[in-house]
């Protein structure tokens, strides 16, 4: 199975049963909040999402490969564990860089909003959900 198909399937079942074997052990991860190295820390972050976020869902809108880079466009949504359980949504894209062995060595997420915008969603409805 090729990496594009694996990623499509991982997005569909996110954050459950992710395929960590497609990542290099020292993968560099970065998003608007976190920056770290290592697949073990990446697993911890995904596990945090799995346990702290309610009804987490990752919608994949587009995936394309060019040379050693894969770009995905997505929307991550979940219900916050606050008593009123607001539905939170982040849209963005990821750039995944592959090494010579075809493993992901860099996973950088770009958000179409700021972390403050995400925080505001917990208290102010951005649209009727």
Residue 57, pLDDT > 50, answer: yes
Report CA 91 to chain centroid distance, whole Å.
Answer: 10
CA–CA gap between residue 56 and residue 17 (Å, rounded): 13
Residue-wise pLDDT for 74-103, tens only, equals 999 999 999 999 999 999 999 999 999 999
Strand partners, 98: 104
Range 105-117 average pLDDT: 97
Write down the pLDDT at residue 125.
Answer: 63
Whether residue 75 contacts residue 91, with contact meaning beta carbons closer than 8 Å, is answered with yes
Domains and CATH numbers, the chain: 3-15+22-121 (3.10.450.50)
Positive or negative, the Cα torsion across 63, 91, 40, 24? positive
> What does pTM read for this prediction?
0.91
Which tokens sit at 76?
């991550």
Q: Give the percent of the chain with pLDDT over 70.
A: 96
């Amino acid at each position: 199975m090729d990496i594009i198909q694996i990623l499509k399937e991982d997005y569909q079942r996110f954050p459950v049963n992710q395929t960590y074997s497609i990542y290099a052990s020292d993968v560099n991860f970065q998003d608007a909040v976190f920056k770290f190295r290592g697949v073990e820390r990446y697993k911890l972050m995904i596990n945090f999402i799995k346990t702290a976020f309610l009804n987490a869902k990752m919608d994949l809108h587009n995936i394309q490969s060019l040379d050693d880079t894969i770009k995905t466009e997505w929307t991550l949504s979940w219900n916050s564990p606050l008593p009123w359980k607001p539905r939170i949504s982040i849209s963005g894209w990821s750039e995944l860089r592959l090494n010579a062995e075809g493993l992901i060595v860099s996973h950088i997420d770009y958000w179409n909003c700021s972390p403050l915008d995400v925080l505001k969603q917990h208290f102010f409805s951005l649209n009727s959900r």
